[in-house]
Structure 1
Amino acid sequence: MVLLHSILPRRRWRFGAALAAAVLLSACGSGGDSSQGQTLPDYDPAPAQVNSPATEVKKDELRVPLQFTHQALVAPGWQTPPHGADDVFLSAGHNDDILTFRAVDDTGTILWEAQRPLSCTGFTLTTADDEQSYAVLTDIDADVQTFGHTVAAAYDLQTGDQSWGPVEVPGPHHGPGIVFAAPSEEAMGESGPQVVLDPATGDVLIDERETPEVAILGEFHGIVLLVVDEQVQAHSASGLAQDGLTGQPKWSIPLDDYAWDTQRLTAKAPTPNPIAEEQSGGVLIGTDDTDRILVTLTDGQVIADQLSAAGQDPSSQTWVTIGKNIVGYDVEEHKLYEESHNGADLIGVGAAIAYLRNAEGNVEARNVLTGAIGRSYDPQDAGVLTVPSVITATGAGILEADDEYYLVPAASAEDHEG
């Protein structure tokens, strides 16, 4: 493997057996005064080029959704939910006290990988104004050489080349997006003040410690959501970098419109929607799983309210929302259908199919254009059930089974013929 350029030196610290028993959360993790008594593993944070196919697995012992029957299945070694952008997925798996992040494209090729301490699980993807996508990983400050300080750095998602950083952040990754929070003073307490970084440079855009009148809701591929002046405001990261809060927001929504409790207000990407982009993505805003609204990131148009979840089919751009009913909306935001449900939970959308887990715990498939229920698995298949969480417009998919995440490479002409 060829090491890529990085300004982070190779870690050479090793720990003895007597110190190995000291297991506490690190600065990359969370909770209280967790930086004391830490031991550092031997790891190399510099991304290394791989450019080789992930291991193909046999599907004999797995129950795979019907739409993936004729496609290959690979195991990149992921144990956390992958994030994706520009047809590349990123996730991590662990071996003892080392995390290995792997970037894999939709053909199943491992592009690059990077190591981190086991406690530095936080990561995200972001997009700058030039439409370049970056992987942002946390790490331990190399200069301090202890667990007491957390830093973040951005890497080109396609190549692993370092773009900016490492920059010091107040604590572990909090999200959504490149948002970091000071750790709680208590082990199970809420996180402290947050900061949001500029995707292009890593500079701090908003620090709640310096602007206590502003609350950070998240960053979504270059769009920053804030609570300011009794409004939810959307700002471009580049606009905040240039003008700060004096610039005009892209859009805003008064808090009074939905009687939200500001202290409990959160924003999250529609589930599942790890490839949300400004041009087509949306965001769910609310205080719980009964009062969320689905808003377009581009212009702040409210598509639906009183929701718990939503997802967008990349191929048809159809939205599927879960609230009191299951509702589909076309690309023009017109309602296509409305069906009742009993405790359905949305788990994946793509290739014109929405996958839901019903109240009995079974997975069902619905046509996103009509709402009709169809077959999701071959009833004759046996083995461990794989559940789709991501299906892209190219036909690639992420399947989860037994706490491992598999990649279905994008469908080829041969796959369709088979």
Structure 2
Amino acid sequence: MARRRLFALAASLPMALALFGCTPTEEPPDLDRGPKQVEKKLEAVDASDLQLPLIVEPLELVEPGWDLDVKHLGDVFLSASSGDDRLNFSAVDSTGTTLWQAQRPTGCTGFSVTADSEGTPLAVLTDSASDESCDSEVTASAYDLETGELRWGPTEVPGPMQGPGTVFSPEDGSETVALEPDTGEASDQASSASRVLGEYRGTILSVDENTLTAATGGETAWEVPLSEHDWNAEGLTAFPDQVDGLIHLDAKDGSGPVIDAESGDIVDDSASEIAHDANSEMIITRDSQGLTVIDATGSNVLPVSLPKSVVLEAAVGGLIYLREDGTLRVHNAATGSIARGYPAEGSGTVAVPDVFTSQGHGTLRAGDRTLLATDRVVEESAEG
């Protein structure tokens, strides 16, 4: 499901929400499924009608035309525009260059980015040759995220992509599989005694009656006994939206542990929302008490009051972006105090940070538009 939001700073503006519903089952149209290399530099867009965060003010913005949520790995971003009879996927790098494009039936909105054992970024797209809703005869294929080259697939899967990562299941949950990023083969982590929770850049997480287990390449990477944390195996699930390098689980009532995907260390005992500032390497978690910032020096509980209606939107450049109804609040991640995240004078739709790289390039949501802040610097006009 794609989400689009409209925010205001001082004054409340109407929210904008775009929902993509299910399409009737019918024979899909002819599509250009195989990724085609493009190498086309997108033109900069005029953003004078937007309120832009100060962190991207010097950067040129491009508009790839995406409607679905954006995923990225390294400097490449992936999403799709939604047409009347097809999805048009495109991979765009931080220079604002479209690298490749591929088409899928409108219902095949499930996609993911992951990495193989050598660290090669992969784009995993779903498909169905006979069902435009992508509920039956579903397959998955992996492509090099930078070049679009086919790495494996199509591989038959039991249903749509459920995530996190390469996890597939029919709507009734009768069968769940996770695909190994190296081969596209089903992982053997799921069995009669255990079930798969998610796939995280090649790490496949599963749980049985007693243990939470992470495996990479078929070998156990780490284990956590459930009894140590009073977790219930039947109630343990993974949040669909995850943060790179972290595993966020729902243990009870919409909150649960945040775990380092590589080591298995518990980063936070219980959080309902998380964000990762890739630039500062800070992890921000939200629980019933408020916000906590976790970095190399430890944990810092911020003096920020958070009603239940507040949503943790993003953390970029040492700033935390919070939404309450139609109003956006920006806080300093070090102190928790209100921060100046936007120019003092401004009007128009507020662009909110979404996914960003450690270099400060990334996507913004502005109403129903998705923009990409590139590494290209805005040129001063000759008159200015």
User: Partner residue of 1:233?
Assistant: 213
CA distance in 2, matches of 1:412, 1:163: 35
User: Partner residue of 2:123?
Assistant: 135
Contact 1:80-1:405 within 8 A present in 2 as well: no
Aligned-pair CA distance for 1:253: 2.0
CA distance in 2, matches of 1:260, 1:306: 11
Q: Which has the higher contact order (CA 8 A, sep 6+)?
A: 2
User: Partner residue of 2:315?
Assistant: 349
Other structure's SS at 1:72 match:
strand
Moved >4 Å (runs of 4+): 411-415
Instruction: Say if 2:74 is the partner of 1:86.
Output: yes
Q: Deviations over 1:312-369 (max 9, x none)?
A: 211221111111221112125x1234323223321111222221113x5421222223
User: Partner residue of 1:406?
Assistant: 371
Counterpart amino acid of residue 259 in structure 1: D
Other structure's SS at 1:262 match:
coil
CA distance in 1, matches of 2:85, 2:163: 24
Alignment of 1:80-159 (within 5 A): 80-141=68-129, 148-159=136-147
**In structure 1, which of residues 272, 295, 314 is the aligned counterpart of residue 259 of structure 2?**
295
Other structure's SS at 2:188 match:
strand
User: Partner residue of 2:271?
Assistant: 307
Other structure's SS at 1:263 match:
coil
Instruction: Say if 2:237 is the partner of 1:255.
Output: no
Number of matched pairs: 356
Change (3 A) 1:266 1:395: same
Q: Deviations over 1:166-214 (max 9, x none)?
A: 1111111111001110233xxxxxx332101110110111375xx2211
CA distance in 2, matches of 1:106, 1:386: 18
Contact 2:189-2:204 within 8 A present in 1 as well: no
Instruction: Say if 2:291 is the partner of 1:326.
Output: yes
Structure 2, unaligned runs of 5 or more: 1-20
Aligned-pair CA distance for 1:63: 1.5
Aligned-pair CA distance for 1:50: 1.1
- What TM-score do the two structures reach when normalised by structure 2? 0.86
| Cα RMSD (Å) | 2.5
Aligned-pair CA distance for 1:267: 2.0
Aligned-pair CA distance for 1:228: 2.4
CA distance in 1, matches of 2:166, 2:59: 34
Contact 1:66-1:376 within 8 A present in 2 as well: yes
Aligned-pair CA distance for 1:122: 0.5
Alignment of 1:270-285 (within 5 A): 273=243, 276=244, 281-285=245-249
Change (3 A) 1:65 1:319: same
- What TM-score do the two structures reach when normalised by structure 1? 0.79
**In structure 2, which of residues 178, 185, 194 is the aligned counterpart of residue 214 of structure 1?**
194
Instruction: Say if 2:280 is the partner of 1:316.
Output: yes
Contact 2:114-2:123 within 8 A present in 1 as well: yes
Contact 1:310-1:321 within 8 A present in 2 as well: yes
Aligned-pair CA distance for 1:56: 2.2
Counterpart amino acid of residue 270 in structure 2: Q
Other structure's SS at 2:59 match:
coil
User: Partner residue of 2:183?
Assistant: 201
Aligned-pair CA distance for 1:25: 5.3
Contact 1:322-1:345 within 8 A present in 2 as well: no
Q: Identity, % of aligned pairs? A: 34
**In structure 2, which of residues 319, 339, 351 is the aligned counterpart of residue 386 of structure 1?**
351
Structure 1, unaligned runs of 5 or more: 1-23, 27-33, 185-190, 241-246
Q: Deviations over 1:281-309 (max 9, x none)?
A: 21112235653111111211112122111
Counterpart amino acid of residue 410 in structure 1: D
Contact 1:350-1:392 within 8 A present in 2 as well: no
* Farther off after superposition, 93-102 or 389-398: 389-398
Aligned-pair CA distance for 1:269: 7.2
Counterpart amino acid of residue 375 in structure 1: R
Aligned-pair CA distance for 1:411: 5.9
**In structure 1, which of residues 247, 253, 264 is the aligned counterpart of residue 235 of structure 2?**
264
CA distance in 1, matches of 2:189, 2:139: 16
Q: Deviations over 1:64-105 (max 9, x none)?
A: 112222211111011111100021000001111110001000
CA distance in 1, matches of 2:78, 2:277: 20
